[in-house]
Amino acid sequence: MLQLAPDLETSPAMKILLNIGGGLDMPTGTYIKGLHGEMLLLGGLGFITGMVGIGNNFKTTLLHCMTNQGMARVFESCALPEKKTQRKLKRLESTNSAYDTEVNIQLPRLKTLAAAIRTFAALGYNLIDQKYWRVTDKTIYWGNEWFEKFKDFMKYKRKNEDAYKLLTPFPDHDGKSPMPVLLPTFGCVDSLTDFQSEKEEEMMDANELGESGGNTLFMKGGLIKTRLLTELPALTGGAYHFIGLTAQLNKELAMGGPPGGAAQPTKKLQYLKNGDRIVGATNKFTYATSVCFNAYNAAPLVDKDRMAEYPHPSGSKGIGDTDLNTVKLTVLRNKNGPTGVTLTMVVTQREGLQFELTEFHNIRENGRFGIIGKGAYYTLALYPECSVMRTTIRAKIEEDAKLRRAINITSEMQQMTEFMPDIWAEYGCTPEELHADLIKLGYDWDLLLKTRGYWLFNNETNPVPFLSTYDFLRMRKGEYFPYWMTEDKKGIKPEFVFEYDTQ
């Protein structure tokens, strides 16, 4: 038989992205049909996430919150049952690690950010310990030493892949079996701008400021970072390690040019402002990242009385309170979706990224999409039993899971109008129509709001059944019926009823 192709082992059927919410999944997402006909959003957190910006724009906070939320998705996943009759399943666990090149990470701060992730708060986990979240800095390891330990861990995971193996709901190459992956782990380098090797330190020690022997210092640093960024995609993708990288932005000095005026600096990226440049991360930074964001225009989110637009659930108030902020994220590079997209994120200085509040702010600011309430009251068409005000929304989000679910579906529908026009052209409808039509078809709406829209590992064996926003729209057209639902549309089939083992 003629050989028609090289004798090569094939790569995985797809590179996974973890759904993390907060409006971050749709702009990086593509829907893939699962093994039961369900539609799974392959979008969210990729293997390497870059975050650039000037100071005080929440770069590090956003990355910590994004990787924490990805880690929480692992904790929400269940181990596979050992026998068919097993109904109580153990949670999976993962780890996070941070390499602090700026030597300013404070453990109490990280603990506060971790506690703000609802999954961890409910479990009472203290992530800031040696088991779950390890933090080190360049007073302990120079960059080259940290990178060698990092590579050792990547190699260990691949060498012991059978012990780390999990199943995703995505189809493998044969289209019939679930695609296996390794247990995801997480990390962050803050920042690549200040990443230094031992060789650079030796050069600085050997040469005083201004001495010619130090002239190649920054060239040496650039070569080291280029090598790191060249190796990272294969290391992280092969070991299923999700890492965030921050880098600083500053203004590029204009030099030369025509008489009477300096030449404008060459624009390095289409959606980076003229004159802005990424500092100390080399041109490889945006090429290596799965998605790269520019964080900018952070500003307090306050009302006309200079108090928080969405007050804290504790009820505390203060004029001039700057804890609640918005920050713009522009997608500079995106290997899984469009570039140039700008998202508005809601962040607090104390607790970090507010995922559901960001989604609510999105639908409120986009013509009150899916909101049927008037004036100061906000009633979602997908949850008409609940009315909230902007002053109570944060407290209601924390206490009402069905409100969180309705906000998520509504926000994803709104984003679908922007980022998935082909799907919307065929399946789009108003949230009011979706709610009314599914009830007419006999579905129990209360049950539908007790689902989750993000996929997990071992997706079928979870206490909360899966139903994506796309699936809701397909159900309305009679093109999909949830595999886990009873024929009367009122309950969950016994074989898909599970609970978490509390041991």
pLDDT for 387-421, tens place per residue?
999 999 999 999 999 999 999 999 999 999 999 99
Position 42 pLDDT exceeds 90 = yes
Per-residue b or e along 66-75, where b marks 16 or more CB atoms closer than 10 Å to that residue's CB: bbbbbbbbbb
Q: Which two tokens stand for residue 149?
A: 């330990």
Cα separation of 136 and 27, whole Å? 32
Cα separation of 228 and 232, whole Å? 6
Cα separation of 266 and 86, whole Å? 62
> CB neighbours of 47 closer than 8 A, spacing ≥ 6?
15, 233, 236, 237, 240, 241, 242, 243, 290
485: left (phi over 0), alpha (psi -120 to 50) or beta: beta
Average pLDDT, stretch 112-125?
Answer: 87
User: For the chain, what percentages of helix, strand and coil (3-state, to nearest 5) are there?
Assistant: 35, 20, 45
Higher per-residue confidence, 90 vs 266 = 90
CATH architecture for segment(s) 26-253+267-353+452-500: 3-Layer(aba) Sandwich (3.40)
Q: Which two tokens stand for residue 86?
A: 């097993």
Q: What is the pLDDT of residue 202?
A: 64
Q: Which two tokens stand for residue 151?
A: 């590579």
Segment 310-344, tens digit of pLDDT = 999 887 665 667 899 999 999 999 988 889 999 99
Going by DSSP bridges, is the β-strand pair 39-42/185-190 parallel, antiparallel, or unpaired? unpaired
Half-sphere exposure of 115 (CA within 13 A, CB side): 11
Average pLDDT, stretch 6-15?
Answer: 87
- What's the mean per-residue pLDDT of the chain? 90
Q: Is 141 exposed, middle or buried (0-12, 13-18, 19+ CB in 10 A)?
A: middle
Cα separation of 131 and 356, whole Å? 28
> Which one-letter amino acid corresponds to residue 249?
L
Q: Is 174 exposed, middle or buried (0-12, 13-18, 19+ CB in 10 A)?
A: exposed
Position 256 pLDDT exceeds 90 = no
Neighbour count for residue 441 (Cβ, 10 Å): 11
Closest CA to 146 of 222, 110, 198, 193: 198
Closest CA to 289 of 476, 48, 113: 48
Position 370 pLDDT exceeds 90 = yes
Cα separation of 27 and 19, whole Å? 11
Position 257 pLDDT exceeds 60 = no
Which has the minimum average pLDDT: 56-60, 141-145, 212-216, 223-227? 212-216
Q: Is 325 helix (H, G, I), strand (E, B) or coil?
A: strand
Cα separation of 308 and 357, whole Å? 13
Domain positions in the chain are: 26-253+267-353+452-500
Question: Is-contact 384 372, C-beta < 8 A?
Answer: yes
Position 216 pLDDT exceeds 70 = no
Q: Which two tokens stand for residue 171?
A: 């189809």
Segment 157-180, tens digit of pLDDT = 999 999 999 999 999 999 999 999
Cα separation of 77 and 466, whole Å? 12
Cα separation of 454 and 397, whole Å? 18
> Which one-letter amino acid corresponds to residue 280?
G
Q: Is 443 helix (H, G, I), strand (E, B) or coil?
A: coil
Average pLDDT, stretch 24-47?
Answer: 96
Phi, psi of 242 (to 5 degrees): -100, 115
Among 251-255, 269-273, 427-431, the range with the most confident prediction by mean pLDDT is 427-431
**Local structure of residue 329 (DSSP, 8 states):** E
Q: What is the pLDDT of residue 128?
A: 62
Q: What is the pLDDT of residue 205?
A: 59
> Which one-letter amino acid corresponds to residue 287?
Y
pLDDT interval class at 206 (50, 70, 90): low
Q: Which two tokens stand for residue 297?
A: 């225009």
Place of tokens 């040696």: 130
Going by DSSP bridges, is the β-strand pair 39-42/276-279 parallel, antiparallel, or unpaired? unpaired
Average pLDDT, stretch 62-84?
Answer: 96
Average pLDDT, stretch 284-292?
Answer: 91
Instruction: Please name every residue paired with 18 in a beta bridge, in sequence order, or none if there are none.
Output: 45
Phi, psi of 124 (to 5 degrees): 75, 25
Phi, psi of 394 (to 5 degrees): -65, -40
**Local structure of residue 466 (DSSP, 8 states):** B
Higher per-residue confidence, 11 vs 41 = 41
Q: What is the pLDDT of residue 10?
A: 87
Q: What is the pLDDT of residue 223?
A: 85
Question: Is-contact 340 27, C-beta < 8 A?
Answer: no
DSSP for 244-280, written as a single string:
EEEEEEEEPPP---STTSPPPPPPSSTTSPTTEEEES
> Which one-letter amino acid corresponds to residue 263?
A
Cα separation of 366 and 12, whole Å? 38
Position 239 pLDDT exceeds 70 = yes
